[in-house]
Structure 1
Amino acid sequence: MIPVAILIHVPDVSEGVKWYQQAFPEASSVYYPESDFTVLELNNISLEIVQADEKVSAGKKGTVVYWFLENWSERLLSIEALGAKLYRGPMVIEHGLIMCQFEDPFGNLIGLRGKVS
C-alpha cells in the first residue's frame, strides 16, 4: 500500500487551502472544476483541505503526519511566521533526527522531522 491522500479538516476551506499553500510552497495546486475542489499535490500525495463538519471536526484527534525537512531551521521559522504554534518539541530522536509538532491555525497538528544541524 502507498499513501495517496491526507485529508485536513478545516472550518473554512478557502482559508485552509490558502494557508497550506503557504506552509508547503513546493506543493502544486490542482483545481477540479467538476467538483469545485482544489488539491495540493506534494511528492505524489494529495493534501486535501476539506470542510470540517459534525462527523469530523478540525483539531487534534490522534493522527499526526510527519514531513521530513531538508532545511529544518528555515522551515520551522516559516511555519511559525504563518501563525502555526509550536505544540511539542523540538526533541532529538533516533538516527540523529530532530522532530516537533506544530498546531496550524485550524487546530490540526503538523509533524516535522529533520536532521540535527
Structure 2
Amino acid sequence: MSDWKPPPFGTPTWMGIPAKDMARASEFYKTVFNLPFMTPQPAYHPENEVRLFDFSNESLSLTGGILQTPDKTGVIKGDKGGICVYWFVEDVEESAKIIEAAGGKMLSDKVMVAEFGAYRYFEDTEGTVGAVYMMVK
C-alpha cells in the first residue's frame, strides 16, 4: 500500500454492489465472474457489512465490494439504484456544492472510512445514486 498513488480527481475508484443476502451475492459474483475476495479483510470493514474484492494483483484503479443493504446510512437499499460508483474527489463538501448546483442532491452527510477516507452519497438528475470519496489528509 505504501507504493499506492491516488488516481486523478474524477476517476471512478470504487463500486458497491448492493445485496440483501451477502453470502448469496458473494457466491454469485465469484461463480459468474471469478471475482477474488480479500481474505482476511481489514477490521474496519466487517464481512457482514461489505465483502471486498481483491484486485491487488491487477493494474486497476477501480476496486469495490458487495455491500449489505440497507447500508449504515440508509441510502443504499436493495430496491433502489443498483451498483453505486464512488468518484474520487479532492473534497466531498466542495463536491456536494457542485453536485447541487448541477441539479443533483446530496443524500447523506460525510461518512468516515476509518481514519483515511470519507464519502457522501448523492443522487444525480436522473435518480441514480452515486458517491464522492476523498482521502483524509
Same fold (TM over 0.5): no
Q: Which has the higher strand share?
A: 1
Scaled to the shorter chain, the TM-score interval is: 0.3 to 0.5
Q: Which has the higher helix share?
A: 1
Relative to the length of structure 1, the TM-score reads 0.43
Relative to the length of structure 2, the TM-score reads 0.38
